């Protein structure tokens, strides 16, 4: 991967009978790119394999209006999925190849990433090959756009099989206003362009590096050989531990950061004792990274068990190298610092402190059961906050057993974390868990319910992409129960059985004759 933001020109004339693939981390980046594409290149057809409603969900009205007006002005044919999104690549291939389009035209095909979640690599390769054959048959240029948080599912297939397309680029959101354009390869009528990375503003497409320091443009102390030096806050050292001579101490994190004047490759260890420290720690790490470049090592030492998964992801966005979790011996932390020697931090940083703080999602002070309208509102709020971050989340559908009362389900569910919410529909219980790794879902459910979920529910379904969650929220809206509905159902279940008619035959006790 190149180490400097060299820009590759991808604005030249594209080749006919060819396919160009681009992946986007969210819809905002995708639509921004489509708007520019429509203006700069004549588009004969725009095909989106999501419904118009689901494609536009959660976007602001001004952005939607601009997108629709651009399509209507510059594109001849516009297609959106009629009903729910297609989930089969075979159906997708059949629908595209049946379309009647002009020869020698340009076609943009837009697909959500959830279509690829259950597909193996051979299915993806087969789909792209069929699309390529169709472009050759129609002498057309195809722009294949895939968007969503799970685009990594097809990136591997594309990069390992460069013969599938003549161009591949990935667009990754850095923060709300900045994104990284990574061009892997890009063929034009002027020749083939190689790999490059370029930072852009979402509202101004001019390339920039936003003062992000790269290995070849470090601070004035770049030649200082201090890789064996460790700067550490005393609050990050356990009581009674003897400090090595290579460690330079300050009383607190603030004093340590303020005392640094010339650092090149040294390690800087900051402490974290409570969750309220996280926001300030992120800002300190970000400023250190901006000031001293990519060769310093920033380590966070957790002194008490206080860091949540979302906090760890926020600190990662701020530019830290390592978190040493509570309970790790000091000597093990020293081994971790040794392992970091010689490494260079290459992750992109947010463009400003304000954009960094947008990754530190403030947990809404709500937890446990809420009615379905509040559940939908809170979930949409969380999704809008989490879309630009890399924090994972999940909507879980648990289908209820008909012979267990709703009140019993509520008594068996104990949600402890702020921001985790639950609601009830006609046939299911739904939970939205923010800041949870997908492989930790089983543990999370074990901590929430008093009994194993396989004993008290018919089935469990997890939704981990924004598109699938928004689609399921529509189902919750149609089948959700209010508190009054639940009360009526509970009262109905408590009604006594109707009296047995007198003429009915009853069983009579009679001794057996032996």
Instruction: Count how many Cα atoms sit within 13 Å of the Cα of residue 112 in the half-sphere of its side chain.
Output: 25
Both tokens of 502, joined, read 């007198």
- Between the CA of residue 50 and those of 30, 94, 171, 198, 245, what are the distances in Å? 14, 16, 20, 29, 61
Give yes or no: residues 203 and 235 share one domain.
Answer: no
Where does a domain end: 302, 336, 359?
359
Count how many domains the chain has: 3
Instruction: Give pLDDT, residue 90.
Output: 79
286 found inside a domain: yes
Q: How many C-beta atoms surround the C-beta of residue 330 within 10 A?
A: 14
In terms of Cα–Cα distance, which of 389, 290, 270 is closest to 345?
A: 290
- Between the CA of residue 457 and those of 350, 368, 375, 397, what are the distances in Å? 43, 18, 20, 10
DSSP state of 413: B
Residues 96 and 131 sit within 8 Å (Cβ to Cβ): yes
Give yes or no: residues 206 and 265 share one domain.
Answer: no
425 - beta bridge partners? 480
Give yes or no: residues 307 and 406 share one domain.
Answer: no
Give yes or no: residues 43 and 90 share one domain.
Answer: yes
Domain span including residue 295: 230-359
Give yes or no: residues 383 and 461 share one domain.
Answer: yes
CATH number at residue 300: 3.40.50
| Local confidence pLDDT in tens for the 514 residues of the chain | 334 444 455 556 788 889 999 999 888 899 999 988 888 887 788 988 888 887 887 778 888 899 999 999 988 888 888 876 566 777 788 888 787 777 888 889 998 887 776 667 788 888 889 888 888 988 889 999 998 877 877 888 888 888 889 999 999 888 888 889 999 989 887 777 878 888 888 776 444 544 334 433 444 455 577 888 999 999 999 887 888 777 999 999 999 999 998 899 999 999 999 988 999 999 999 999 999 999 999 999 999 999 988 899 899 999 999 999 999 999 899 999 999 999 999 888 888 898 888 777 666 678 899 999 999 999 988 887 776 667 888 999 999 998 888 888 989 999 988 889 999 999 999 999 988 888 899 999 999 998 999 999 999 999 888 778 888 998 899 988 877 777 776 666 655 545 444 444 445 555 555 4
275 found inside a domain: yes
514 found inside a domain: no
Give yes or no: residues 38 and 179 share one domain.
Answer: yes
- C-alpha 314/C-alpha 389 separation (Å) is 8
Backbone angles phi, psi at 127, to 5 degrees: -60, -45
- C-alpha 119/C-alpha 154 separation (Å) is 10
Helix/strand/coil for 268: strand
In terms of Cα–Cα distance, which of 25, 7, 12, 24 is closest to 386?
A: 25
CATH number at residue 452: 3.30.70
Instruction: Give pLDDT, residue 223.
Output: 57
Residues 359 and 414 sit within 8 Å (Cβ to Cβ): no
Instruction: Give pLDDT, residue 423.
Output: 94
Torsion of CA 148, 175, 317, 194, to 10 degrees: 70
Q: Which ranges constitute the DSSP H helices of 267-417?
A: 278-292, 309-318, 330-340, 353-357, 372-386, 406-412
Instruction: Give pLDDT, residue 87.
Output: 65
In terms of Cα–Cα distance, which of 148, 170, 186, 181 is closest to 50?
A: 148
Instruction: Give pLDDT, residue 388.
Output: 65
Give yes or no: residues 234 and 328 share one domain.
Answer: yes
Give yes or no: residues 372 and 450 share one domain.
Answer: yes
146 found inside a domain: yes
**This model's pTM is above 0.85:** no
């Amino acid at each position: 991967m190149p180490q400097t933001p060299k820009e590759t020109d991808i604005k030249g004339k594209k080749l006919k009978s060819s396919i160009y693939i681009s992946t986007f981390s969210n819809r905002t980046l995708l639509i921004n790119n489509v708007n520019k594409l429509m203006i700069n290149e004549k588009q004969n057809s725009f095909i989106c394999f999501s419904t118009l409603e689901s494609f536009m969900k959660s976007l602001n009205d001004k952005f939607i209006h601009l997108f629709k007006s651009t399509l209507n002005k510059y594109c001849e044919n516009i297609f959106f999925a009629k009903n729910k999104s297609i989930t089969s690549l075979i159906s997708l291939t059949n629908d595209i190849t049946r379309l009647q389009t002009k020869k020698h035209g340009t076609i943009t095909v837009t697909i959500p990433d959830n279509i690829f979640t259950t597909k193996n690599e051979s299915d993806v390769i087969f789909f792209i090959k069929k699309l390529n054959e169709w472009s050759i048959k129609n002498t057309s240029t195809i722009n294949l756009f895939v968007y969503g948080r799970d685009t990594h599912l097809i990136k591997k297939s594309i990069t390992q099989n460069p013969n599938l397309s003549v161009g591949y680029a990935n667009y990754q959101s850095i923060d709300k206003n900045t994104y990284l354009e990574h061009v892997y390869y890009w063929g034009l009528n002027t020749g083939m362009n190689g790999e490059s990375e370029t930072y852009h503003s979402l509202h101004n497409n001019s390339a920039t590096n936003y003062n992000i320091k790269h290995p070849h443009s470090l601070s004035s102390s770049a030649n200082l050989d201090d890789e064996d030096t460790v700067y550490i806050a005393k609050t990050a050292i356990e009581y009674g531990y003897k400090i090595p001579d290579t460690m330079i101490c300050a009383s607190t994190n603030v004093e340590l950061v303020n005392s640094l004047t010339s650092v090149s490759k040294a390690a800087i260890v900051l402490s974290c004792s409570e969750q309220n420290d996280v926001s300030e720690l992120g800002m300190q790490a970000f400023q250190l990274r901006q000031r001293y470049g990519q060769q310093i090592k920033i380590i966070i030492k957790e002194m008490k068990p206080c860091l949540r998964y979302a906090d760890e992801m926020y600190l990662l966005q701020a530019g830290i190298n390592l978190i040493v979790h509570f309970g790790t011996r000091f000597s093990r932390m020293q081994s971790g610092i040794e392992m970091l020697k010689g490494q260079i931090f290459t992750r992109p940083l947010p463009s400003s402190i304000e954009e960094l703080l947008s990754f530190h999602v403030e947990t809404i002070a709500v937890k446990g059961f809420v009615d379905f309208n509040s559940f939908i509102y809170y979930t949409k709020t969380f999704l809008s906050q989490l879309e630009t971050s890399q924090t994972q989340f999940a909507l879980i559908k648990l289908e209820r057993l008909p012979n267990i009362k709703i009140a019993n389900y509520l008594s068996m569910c104990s949600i402890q974390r702020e921001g985790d919410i639950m609601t009830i529909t006609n046939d299911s219980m739904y939970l939205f868990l923010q800041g949870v790794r997908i492989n930790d879902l089983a543990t999370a459910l074990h901590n929430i319910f008093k009994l194993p979920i396989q004993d008290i529910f018919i089935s469990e379904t997890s939704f981990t992409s924004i598109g699938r969650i928004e689609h399921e929220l529509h189902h919750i809206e149609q089948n959700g129960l209010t508190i009054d509905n639940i009360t009526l159902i509970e009262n109905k279940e408590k009604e006594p059985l109707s009296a047995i008619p007198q003429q009915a035959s009853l069983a009579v006790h009679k001794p057996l004759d032996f």
